Structure 1
Amino acid sequence: MLKWVLAAVGIVVAMIAIFIGVVLFLFNREGPDMSNLTELHSAEVLDLTDLGSSYRVVYEYTYQGETFYGRKTINGNSLHRGSTFGICLDPSDPAKHAHTHTDCGPGGPLDPKEGLKEKPEL
């Protein structure tokens, strides 16, 4: 009987240790540095392919006279050529940007990208 109690305690301790390990991993993992993506801007859809519940888009944005291009898959069902969506960019290096649904504050942009000088293919 004592063996079963010790086995049960060991399993509970192991489960707690695994839970703590997962929580620490999720809260301490390092992501890309996006602290410089501070300026809210918009990008315009140039071309798109309907994938059903999402679109593969080629977009452009202009910042201080320079035009940058990118390619991304965007979830949604109401995009068309000429649609715009929000991006956050680095004012000192405007090629660095990220798509955003909210703002450029903490938790705003995700998936940082590097803008291209030439329009990519879909």
Structure 2
Amino acid sequence: MTMIDVGGLRHGIRLGQIHRVWNHGSLREFILSIFSQTKELPNEVKLEKLFNARNLQRFASIQIIWTNNLADHLQLEDDDTIMRIFSHASFLELHRICNIFPPRFIDETLRTLALLLPSNDKKTVA
């Protein structure tokens, strides 16, 4: 429903993921609490076409790990050598009209995916 891991694992471990527990309030309040720290960049910020996931791996030695957990999108780990990227753009597209996420959050997340994984870059798509 939200693509956010909630709660703990009784007999397991989560490597590199933040443990989030929802034990009170509405689901919307819980989601807003997770994403309330999201800072929006000014519209004037333009990054070079070279700024994509493939080049982050090649030039910055940042390993990309796909995640099913939306709350882990763009999370850096292990001294900033690992970046988690949410892998379900279709989920985001389907939730554009849903008001459970903060305003503009879905669009901003889709923009980061388009920046990191440009569809016109054949080597990134492959």
TM-score, L = length of structure 1: 0.23
Higher helix share: 2
TM-score, L = length of structure 2: 0.23
Higher strand share: 1
Task: Indicate the structure (1 or 2) with the bigger Cα radius of gyration.
Answer: 1
